Chain A
Amino acid sequence: MALSATGEPEVVLRLVGITKRFGTLLANDSVSLTLHAGEVLALLGENGAGKTTLMNILFGHYVADEGTIEAFGRPLPPGSPRAALEAGIGMVHQHFTLADNLSVLDNVTVGTESLWRIRSDRRAARARLLELAQRFGLEVRPDAVVADLSVGERQRVEILKALYRDARILILDEPTAVLTPQESASLFDTLRRLTADGLAVVFISHKMNEVFAASDTVAVLRAGKLVATHATSDTDRTRLAELMVGRAVTPAAPQPLAAGEPVLELSHVTVASDHGRPLLDAVDLAVRRRQVIGIAGVSGNGQTALAELVSGLVHAEAGSVTLKGAPVERADPAAMIRLGVARIPEDRHSAGLVGAMTVWENLIAERYRAPAFSRLGILRRGAARTYARRVIADFDVRCPGPEARTQTLSGGNMQKLILGRTLAHKPDLILASQPTRGLDIGAVSYVHGRLLEARAAGAGVLLISEDLDEILALADSIAVIHRGRLTPLLPNGRASISQLGLLMAGHWDILPEILDAA
């Protein structure tokens, strides 16, 4: 840490008693934080704990109801992102704010030049950009168009954008959500170089690994309150998880089971795209009963197409899909449901549920034509509500009742609703597509537990996830997806995390080495 003249690390940022309400919701409850030069502070908390709200207040997107912020000893005027920028605070949002059609250099310099100058000094700008990039290990091509960059590269551009504006405090909102393990490692390396240079970094996270990999100090938020601040080296995972959730958490662990007969077989399946490269390219895969097959990969490599194929939303252009030994002709969602496929969509808001409709209406959405729920075209609303009450109880959905509008539920409860809708019917195959994305630890362990329970009951589970930790925790075997192609199944544990990371990045030349190791 950089030390001030007195030998104490210089305080660069001081938040005192920050309180923010949205209606009746207390998003931040008198939160006080200090950040020192050269420090990486991890802001840890579940979804909805108030992490992003707090940082948005710091950056001037929101105005706090109470409390003050001081940056470098001077009070920061509330509600002004410009003042925050001028005070040396830079923010890298979870969803990047880059102009896709502009070059890296243009994206970095935009807004920093006076409108009144006819010619901008691009040569100096480029030199400065390259100097920053080199100093902090943020390799970029200044003339590349942002649309052509990978997610990791875009994030580097975002960080450079902040540094170019002389940021001395950098805020990163869930920076690793979209990165491969290697890219994350390189990001943490950059963070170390930044702090060595005297910058201070706040990064928001709900992943424990990153906290230990990258932070000096960890602050835990729960339900808007700051519940603890520790030096990272003084604490451990279990302790932090308890602080985050407020109670002890036991991670789900699969018990060893003998896999049964195959329920889903894909043979040389190709799914075409509208332009060029197919979304799925001659994919072979088999999922057996009492088995979790994990599909690992960086987002956008064909996971969506694979999920849509098994959901019945898209068709294979070539190759064959076999369910429980019988080939599937003309699949559609209704047919897949009839064949015993439980589908958990990757986007529960837009594909899983109709937010404007009630809980009971959503719970019967996949089987409202069954005699249990309708007769001669008339809905049996009483029966449907009774059924809904049972599922709500069985799956611990926290909601006012069957008549509640689904959009008022939290993400975790929406996911429980979808689990209840699909798992209550003893499925043969479960397609779980990003089943815990955006969920907090408590809900994650619930979902994992339910999936493993279904596995023990004889279902095959196809788990598609961008969260490698999730796959390593649940899967019996793992296949890596890259550009629509799938590696052979690797028993969990066969490939190391770094090997999986290389496969995710497309270095399939290491495959023989992994396969031969057996």
Chain B
Amino acid sequence: MRLEPRADSPLALQVFAPVGAVVAALALCAALVAWTGAPVLRAYGLLIEGALGSRFALTETLTRATPLILTGLAVAVAFRAKLWNIGAEGQLYMGALAAVVVGGGMLDLPAWLLIPLVLLAGMAAGGVTLLGPAVLKVRFGVDEVVTTLLLNFVVLLLVSMLLEGPLKDPMGMGWPQSAPVIAAAELPKLVARTRLHAGLAIALGLAVLLWLMDTRTIWGYENRAVGANPRAAAFAGMPVTWIMLRTALLSGGLAGLAGAAEVCGLKGYLTLDLSPGFGYSGIVVAMLAQLHPLGVVGAALFIAAVFVGADAMSRAMPVPNYIADVMVATSLLCMLVAGLLTRYRLRRG
């Protein structure tokens, strides 16, 4: 068997690839479900019902998808410019940190002013966090995979220190958590009596904006050129260093916004378990979406649905909810193969 490059990859194939990959992943995971002794079809039925089957399930899935869309966009934006940002998790926490500091009562402003300010602070904090590794990369060629990954742990320890020290909530019964943001900094709910908040609208709006930027503006044009061939971009006179740094600011900013939105829309305060790895899942989301901003929305919804649905399923059946992790990981692997098959053709001999 050999791989031969395709001259063109038809649109139908590109759309079918992720769908096929997800179906293949579900089929593969069916074996694991069967292994636990549970009936496969009923298990998947419960999973789907748990993710989409009721008002509550649906809003929970959307709530869960919100930070995933933002971290997914963060990763997609960076990866498209070949800036390998593995640090969305740390940038998310930095954004959350900025949100509790700025929104914690230090400024007494009306909501229409305070909310944008808090979110912008979160973006700035996330962006600056990625700026460091990006500067090291363009200036000295330091591998950003290593620096951004390791910075995650530095950020977590910093947050931990602050939560045990200066930021510790005096009313928090001794738990390592910050004081909550004030009411004027809270994001409005999208659906009454659910946890779904305006962060979703912001995330969707940004996905569309980024797609427009990518295809319609000279910024997107430059980003794509630098991502696809930095040497040719530099030869044509594009400011490659500035493009890399501004991509870093945008990517880190999106991850920081995810953290700020989680704090202001959902949790209200900062703890060390604010994110169950949204930053890392963002990488999976972006890869599943083949780095397309609109694809990120679909991929984030899928992953959120799998996690929320698996939780519901595991409460009703003897299938542990870890199956969600396996399903997401399998989907990613299938997607990588599917992506390969859209670009290459499998041939005998």
Measured CB to CB, the residues of A under 8 A from B are 22-23, 63, 311-313, 332-337, 343, 345, 350-357, 361, 365-366, 368-369, 374, 377-379, 381, 405, 408
Contact = CB atoms under 8 A, between A and B. Distances in A.
Given A343-B235, A351-B232, A353-B232, A22 B349 contact: no
Given A377-B217, A377-B219, A379-B216, 11 more contacts: A313-B235, A332-B237, A333-B234, A352-B235, A354-B229, A357-B225, A365-B233, A365-B236, A378-B218, A379-B217, A405-B8
B217 A378 contact: yes
Nearest to A65: B349
A352 B235 CA distance: 7
A514 B217 CA distance: 57
A354 B225 contact: yes
B234 A357 contact: no
A350 B232 CA distance: 6
B236 A333 contact: yes
B237 A354 contact: no
A405 B233 CA distance: 16
Contacts of A337: 237
Contacts of A356: 224, 228-229
A333 B231 CA distance: 12
B219 A333 contact: no
A354 B233 contact: yes
Contacts of A334: 237-239
Contacts of A365: 225, 232-233, 236, 238
Contacts of A378: 216-218
Contacts of A332: 237
20 contacts: A63-B349, A333-B236, A334-B237, A335-B237, A352-B232, A352-B235, A354-B224, A355-B228, A357-B225, A361-B221, A361-B224, A365-B232, A365-B236, A365-B238, A366-B237, A369-B218, A377-B219, A379-B218, A379-B221, A408-B7
A307 to B, nearest CB: 11
Interface of B: 4, 7-8, 216-219, 221, 224-225, 228-229, 231-239, 345, 349
A313 B236 contact: no
A351 B216 contact: no
Contact of B4 (A23, A63, A381): A23
A149 B102 CA distance: 65
Contacts of A377: 217-219
A257 to B, nearest CB: 30
A350 B4 contact: no
B210 to A, nearest CB: 15
A165 to B, nearest CB: 28
A351 B234 CA distance: 8
A312 B237 CA distance: 9
Contacts of A63: 349
Contacts of A350: 229, 231-232
Contacts of A361: 221, 224-225
A468 to B, nearest CB: 26
B298 to A, nearest CB: 23
Nearest to A312: B237
Contacts of A374: 218
A405 B236 CA distance: 18
Contacts of B217: 377-379
B237 A357 contact: no
A425 to B, nearest CB: 13
The 4 closest A-B pairs by CB, nearest first: A334-B237, A333-B237, A365-B236, A356-B228
Given A22-B4, A379-B218, A408-B7, A345 B235 contact: yes
A313 B232 CA distance: 11
Contacts of A335: 237
A230 B137 CA distance: 58
A354 B8 contact: no
Contacts of A368: 218, 221
Contacts of A23: 4, 7, 345
Contacts of B8: 405, 408
A357 B228 contact: yes
B348 to A, nearest CB: 12
A311 B221 contact: no
A408 B225 CA distance: 17
Contacts of B229: 350, 353-356
Given A368-B218, A369-B218, A378-B217, A311 B235 contact: yes
A66 to B, nearest CB: 13
A2 to B, nearest CB: 38
B219 A354 contact: no
Contacts of B231: 350-351
Nearest to B212: A378
A381 B218 CA distance: 10
